[in-house]
């Protein structure tokens, strides 16, 4: 193939790329090459390999002849079929996006559920501590009341009059026999 044929292929690639509203970078990704390779093709400085030509026909939906002929590539007829390479790529991208959204929603749900569980666990621990504190305070109050009762009993006689003298705490054994 001569240099002129390289420029024909390059011109056709460029026209088809522009017609598909693709950038050189997008075409490079679609053909598994890079932007600079696409640029070399379009300038006629490099010819696409057989594999590249095959990918280009899939991406553009045209025949190899329409890529290599001197006819205007804008008038080249596209191959028929519902699923061209770009349509498949778009469909795959949409599927990936849907899957990404589902995964994100699942992760958000799990994070929220874990966060909510942690908050409930913290609240339960606080409530346990509050109940223990209330029980301790209740026991202290009961002991205090018992002490005051003992004081009152020891400081009064049987008539209810206050006894004179120091406070004496007597432990009385009043055991009861149960028949």
The Cα–Cα gap between 168 and 148 comes to 13
CA distance 163 to 155: 5
- Rounded to the nearest integer, the mean pLDDT of the chain is 80
- The Cα 166–Cα 138 span in angstroms is 30
pTM of the complete model: 0.41
Average pLDDT over residues 74-85: 46
Q: What is the pLDDT of residues 90-146, one digit of tens each?
A: 778 888 888 888 888 888 887 888 888 888 889 999 999 999 999 999 999 999 888
Distance (Å, whole) CA 179 – CA 177: 6
Of 16-30, 79-93, 113-127, which range is least confident?
79-93
CATH classification of the domain holding 26? 1.10.260.40
> 60 lies in a domain?
yes
If one counts the domains in the chain, the total is 1
Statement: residue 83 has pLDDT above 50: no
CB atoms within 10 A of CB 56: 25
Question: Please, what sign has the CA dihedral across residues 76, 81, 87, 92?
Answer: negative
Task: Give the Cα separation of 66 and 87 in Å (integer).
Answer: 20
Is residue 19 one of the residues assigned to a domain?
Answer: yes
- Domain residue limits at 35: 3-80
The verdict on residue 150 lying in a domain is no
pLDDT of residue 155: 65
Domain presence at residue 149? no
């Amino acid at each position: 193939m001569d240099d002129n044929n390289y420029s024909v292929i390059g011109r056709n690639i460029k026209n088809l790329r522009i017609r598909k509203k693709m950038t050189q970078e997008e075409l490079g990704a679609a053909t598994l090459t890079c932007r600079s390779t696409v640029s070399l093709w379009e300038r006629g400085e490099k010819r696409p390999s057989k594999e590249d030509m095959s990918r280009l026909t899939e991406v553009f939906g045209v025949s190899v002849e329409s890529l290599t002929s001197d006819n205007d590539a804008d008038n080249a007829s596209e191959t028929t079929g519902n699923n061209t390479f770009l349509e498949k790529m778009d469909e795959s991208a949409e599927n990936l996006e849907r899957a990404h959204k589902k995964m994100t929603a699942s992760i958000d749900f799990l994070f929220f559920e874990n966060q909510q569980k942690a908050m409930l666990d913290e609240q339960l621990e606080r409530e346990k501590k509050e109940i223990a504190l209330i029980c301790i305070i209740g026991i202290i109050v009961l002991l205090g009341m018992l002490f005051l009762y003992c004081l009152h009993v020891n400081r009064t006689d049987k008539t209810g009059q206050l006894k004179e003298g120091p406070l004496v705490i007597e432990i009385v054994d009043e055991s009861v026999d149960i028949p």
